[in-house]
Structure 1
Amino acid sequence: MPDTESTEAPARPPIPRRGPGHGGPFGGMGMPVEKSAHFLPTVKRLIGSLRPEAVPVVFVILLGVVSVVLSVLGPNVLGMATDIVYDGAVSSFQGGQGIDFARLQVVLGIVLLLYVFSSLFQYLQGYVLNGVTQRTVYRLRSDVEAKIHRLPLSYFDRMPRGELLSRVTNDIDNVSQSLQQTMSQMLTSILTVVGVVVMMFVISPVLALISLVAIPLTFGITVVIAKRSQKLFVAQWTHTGALNAQIEEGYSGHALVKVFGRHREVEARFAEKNDELYRASFGAQFISGIIMPAALFVGNLVYVGIAVVGGLLVAGGSMSIGGVQAFIQYSRQFTQPLSQIGSLINLLQSGVASAERVYELLDADEQRPDPVESTSPPATAGRLAFEHASFRYDPEKPLIDDLSLVAEPGSTVAIVGPTGAGKTTLVNLIMRFYELDGGRITLDGVDIRSMTRDDLRSRTGMVLQDTWLFQGTIRDNIAYGRPDATEEEIIQAAQAAYVDRFVHALPDGYDTVLDDEGANVSAGEKQLITIARAFLADPALLILDEATSSVDTRTEVLVQRAMRELRRSRTSFVIAHRLSTIRDADLILVMEAGSIVETGTHDELVAAGGAYSRLYEAQFAAPVETDEGAPEPVPAMPTSAS
């Protein structure tokens, strides 16, 4: 998960981001916009995603063919009705029997049935197609969700959260909408064009050739406009992701923005990104929107040509009035789907731009797969060993080189050092959030790379500096550590972590519903709930990443006592900035620049006067100003726990 790494780890160099949104709460979010170079491959891949729906798609095509055939036959039969009326009127004028209403009634009945059944088949086509589209998008969402769990932590380091959410939500929704509309209307429009062309040649080849002039003209206009609008659609969805990242970043850091009075700057950056999205969206929609009126203009020109030539053919006796009427209807039916095709290309470009962003996520490099034949320690005692381990975020900048250490079962190992020393990196290597470049890490003699990640992490409990609670009851949040735990076990874990002390003061006790930010409990109480979660999991390895940083001094004393009990039967790694919290550790590792520079107990390291002693003095012996302005040292705290 993206939140697994503490904010303490700036030891790694900044990873270049592919998307906008980096650089902190006020970082620039610009991203150069380029025309998509993968339009056709993305379209082919999108069509390929319909393979599991092959049978329904064939059925949709058949329904479309039947619907269009019935619809196309309508004008020709209606032309017969016109000829019946015209011939009857002429006959009546010449003293004949007049209009044959019985025959006219039959013809009009046939027209009515043609249009009714055409509409019915079109409705069935839409119903089946809706299922095809929604199942396809369902699989796409499932693939994206599964992919996220296979991505390495480094991907989330360089991908802004708002940008990722935009791809998972906005872009997939846009793909769904584009598929739904383009598949149905595009199929109907193409079949209508083919059917109408056939009928036009049956009625009059001369007029049909005039009508066909509209095809190259409409196609040419569409291609010219589409080339200009495609890059704007890519820009539109890119700026949508950037704006989402900006909003998410500004919202999550709202308190910080207010404290430092930077809301005007945030508002200005929002306005800038919003303006970029507006300009890209306006340009994309305006330019692509020209396609339909341009196609209609071509259709009107063709209509004028048909009317003039058709009138001459009627005057010459080579066509009936009903035939001209039918042909004019066909010409309208011909130009309308051409215009629709042009308009649908607008929607298709938008959908393809979104699909390309989703496929970029699906094609991202995944974490190293688990071994096919995994190994697992028969019983986890908790002996963890680093054997000549090496790791670096940037191949050119070494961070951890040839690191060896052993944590014996049941021992507590504290890791201290300045910010950026690599403390959290060490923990992330234990959890296999990152993979070693050299050496190995063993758990009870088994290389952790030969274990599955699920097996390794099921033996490990972790409490982070940044708390994470989901929307649910306090009971549910504690039980997240072990879903099959009994009520008694949950209460025992809560009592061990001193959650029970404040829960009874809440109106609903353990049934109190927390929101996803845990806003209805204090920061210290949230941390206690996450500690209770780790208690309940009862892991063989326990990792505490500055777990008491949000707890007040009095509560910290209680938590430290509980943690001493918890650590007795398991190996514990404690990352600490407050050295008062790790005085009773069995072993303290002092790290600087990715290397362990000192090891020992608290008393041994203070007496040695090295790096640990300097950290300790900096924390507990800061200078104060005397009345004369000269610094005067404050006596250090006792070197042993009282």
Structure 2
Amino acid sequence: MARNKFDIDENLESPFNIRHFRRAIVYIKKQKTPMIVAFVLSALSAGIALSAPLIMQHVVDVTIPEKDTLSLVGWSAVTLATIVISVILATIRSRIMTRVGQDIIFEIRTDLFKHLQELPFQYYDDRPQGKILIRVVNYVNSVSDVLSNGIINFILEILNLLFIAAFMFAVDVKLSLVILAGLPVFIAVILLIKTRQRRAWQAVSNKSSNLNAYLQESISGIRVTQIFTREKRNEGIFTRLSVNYRSAWMKTMYLNFLVPFSVDNLTTMVTTAIFFVGLLAMGPEEATFGVILAMSSYASRFWQPILNLSNIYNSFVNSVAYLERIFETLDEPVTVSDVPKARELPPIQGSVSFDDVTFAYDPGLNILENLSFNVKAGESIALVGPTGAGKTTVVNLLSRFYNVTGGKILIDGHDISEVKLKSLRSQMGIMLQDSFIFSGTILDNIRYGKLDATEEEVIAAAKTVCADDFIREFEKGYLTEVNERGSKLSQGQRQLISFARTLLADPRILILDEATSSIDAQTERLLQKGLNELLKGRTSFIIAHRLSTVRNCDRILYVADRGVAESGSHDQLIAKQGRYYKLHTAQKMEA
């Protein structure tokens, strides 16, 4: 399924089952002690509140007829005390559960973020960032209350029902049966709409995810939008997605409101039936006016927990849709990870061998096929060729951002699929085409991959790549704050800072993917001097479309037709007058 579009609903890979909820219990168990305290407080508060109808019955049937003013004042004070104590206990419980809910959010969100950090590039290739973000933020927020308050409230409301039923039957059995007569109707309503509710909430989840994905994409691409005056067109797309979300939400709300609507009407009918049965059918001998008032109060109290349970049920159905998304993310396989018994990659010299390597992003569509070549330690290798031929794929496989489909890749004779990822990547310096700058200071960005680097080491790396001069032109120099993605910097400046970040790691294997594409010719000439010193003794892979930047490499690999079509030095390939010669000639004519 094409999941990497904002306007396509994400169908769940597997249907929800109770196992998902049992997994959620793991987070609840960590908050067991405060939840037990909150439950006890809730039970005490509810038990104290249930005494009010009995007090009312006694006052109506005994205290008022006897005109006992002193007792009336006493019972009023007792009633007020029950209300105050009940409110105090409920407030303490609410504060406890607020903290519990936030702790559960923290645990789930931390697990999600940790897992997302480990997922391979392929996962992010397949879906918009907005659909990932909404799971970590919105969906986790949505399930926290159900996993904290929802559990306690469910148990508490069940106990409330039992307590209320006990009080009811203690007051009058026949009128209690009248109150219970509405239950079969309510159960029928729940059974009728439960499947439709779950599907409706899944639709809301899908439309919300789509809307969030498009919003994130639009914000990221706002400059392009304004350049091409696409505002009206994009507004139309956003409106369509918003309308879809609103329609899904309204349909869900119609179903949700059926439950409280049913409870409200059943409460009214049951209360009416109590007065009818109590006053007309049973008579004052069997049911005094105090008994009828107490039972009508208990009727309202009996259906209130049922209404609360129905709301908890609605929240649970809602949260089920979100839990499915959350656990689907947590269940995403980490396909690029340390294999069992993976070993540390020792300090390397830098020899690299591709041994019959085949790779496909999508099954059956090979990008590389039976690719084999050897690189000696310290050699500089240029990868050139047409767009989409697989140049970046070669270095991505060497960095093990993806697993090879077939064959193997060796560094100093070690199969990289059998060594620990951290030990592999810590000895490689990789600068990808996207010069990503994080929010923070320039110093922090350069030191991103080597946190223990001194300020002097940072400055030395910046000087090597000719970034020191423009950094010092800022008022705060290396302590200058930059925005997310480095929006305050030019593309060339971002690339030079990324270059310094890569070089600071002092790697044995250096990968430069279009490293100088956004740098002017004068800066590139200055940078090349520093690079020539840096590349000495290091194995390097350099991808470049401008052939002038790679002509001094030890070897040039022309990547095409799912493999290496030509290989040799610049002079050798020019003399061969093959594909590289034609590309070189074409660029000279364009210049």
Give TM-score, length-normalised by structure 1.
Answer: 0.87
Worse-matched range after superposition: 320-329 or 533-542: 320-329
Partner of 2:335: 367
1:17 aligns with 2:2: yes
Task: Write the letter of the residue equivalent to 1:488.
Answer: E
Partner of 2:445: 477
- In structure 2, C-alpha distance between the alignment counterparts of 1:206 and 1:309, rounded to whole Å: 9
State the shift of 1:83 in Å.
1.9
State the shift of 1:191 in Å.
2.4
| Percent of pairs with identical residues | 32
1:288 aligns with 2:256: yes
Map Cα deviations across residues 33-84 of structure 1 (whole Å, 9 max, x no partner): 7999426444444345423333433333333322222221221122112223
Partner of 1:63: 41
Map Cα deviations across residues 151-204 of structure 1 (whole Å, 9 max, x no partner): 121111101111111111111111124445533543443322221111111111
RMSD value, Cα: 2.2
Residue of 145, 166, 179 corresponding to 1:198: 166
State the shift of 1:554 in Å.
1.1
Residue of 361, 370, 386 corresponding to 1:393: 361
1:75 aligns with 2:60: no
Partner of 2:31: 53
1:426 aligns with 2:394: yes
Identify if the C-alpha distance between structure 1 residues 123 and 506 changes in structure 2 by more than 3 Å, giving closer, same or farther: same
Residue of 565, 576, 587 corresponding to 2:533: 565
What SS is found at the alignment partner of 2:353? strand
- In structure 2, C-alpha distance between the alignment counterparts of 1:314 and 1:124, rounded to whole Å: 44
1:354 aligns with 2:322: yes
What SS is found at the alignment partner of 1:498? coil
Partner of 1:301: 269
| Gap regions ≥5 residues in structure 1 | 1-15, 22-28, 89-98, 623-636, 638-642
State the shift of 1:313 in Å.
6.9
- In structure 2, C-alpha distance between the alignment counterparts of 1:210 and 1:41, rounded to whole Å: 39
Matched-pair contact (CA < 8 Å) for 1:314–1:321: no
Task: Write the letter of the residue equivalent to 1:297.
Answer: N
- In structure 1, C-alpha distance between the alignment counterparts of 2:242 and 2:355, rounded to whole Å: 52
Identify if the C-alpha distance between structure 1 residues 287 and 19 changes in structure 2 by more than 3 Å, giving closer, same or farther: farther
State the shift of 1:123 in Å.
2.7
Matched-pair contact (CA < 8 Å) for 1:498–1:559: yes
Partner of 1:219: 187
Identify if the C-alpha distance between structure 1 residues 375 and 48 changes in structure 2 by more than 3 Å, giving closer, same or farther: closer
| Gap regions ≥5 residues in structure 2 | none
State the shift of 1:467 in Å.
0.7
Task: Write the letter of the residue equivalent to 1:610.
Answer: G
- In structure 2, C-alpha distance between the alignment counterparts of 1:381 and 1:30, rounded to whole Å: 48
Matched-pair contact (CA < 8 Å) for 1:36–1:230: no
Map Cα deviations across residues 561-600 of structure 1 (whole Å, 9 max, x no partner): 2111111121110011111110110011111032011111
1:539 aligns with 2:517: no
State the shift of 1:119 in Å.
2.7
5 Å-filtered alignment, 1:107-146, equals: 107-146=75-114
What SS is found at the alignment partner of 2:65? helix
What SS is found at the alignment partner of 1:50? helix
Matched-pair contact (CA < 8 Å) for 1:226–1:345: no
Map Cα deviations across residues 356-387 of structure 1 (whole Å, 9 max, x no partner): 11111111121243144443454321112222
5 Å-filtered alignment, 1:324-473, equals: 324-473=292-441
Partner of 1:279: 247
What SS is found at the alignment partner of 1:387? strand
Matched-pair contact (CA < 8 Å) for 2:382–2:557: yes
Matched-pair contact (CA < 8 Å) for 2:336–2:402: no
Partner of 2:559: 591
Matched-pair contact (CA < 8 Å) for 1:465–1:548: no
Residue of 509, 516, 522 corresponding to 1:548: 516
Matched-pair contact (CA < 8 Å) for 2:42–2:93: yes
Task: Write the letter of the residue equivalent to 1:71.
Answer: A
Identify if the C-alpha distance between structure 1 residues 39 and 214 changes in structure 2 by more than 3 Å, giving closer, same or farther: farther
Give TM-score, length-normalised by structure 2.
Answer: 0.95
- In structure 2, C-alpha distance between the alignment counterparts of 1:70 and 1:459, rounded to whole Å: 67
Matched-pair contact (CA < 8 Å) for 1:499–1:529: yes
- In structure 2, C-alpha distance between the alignment counterparts of 1:513 and 1:385, rounded to whole Å: 42
Task: Write the letter of the residue equivalent to 1:118.
Answer: S
1:578 aligns with 2:546: yes
Matched-pair contact (CA < 8 Å) for 1:296–1:336: no
What SS is found at the alignment partner of 1:398? strand
What SS is found at the alignment partner of 2:488? coil
Matched-pair contact (CA < 8 Å) for 1:545–1:574: yes
- In structure 2, C-alpha distance between the alignment counterparts of 1:316 and 1:323, rounded to whole Å: 10
Matched-pair contact (CA < 8 Å) for 1:19–1:163: no
What SS is found at the alignment partner of 2:486? coil
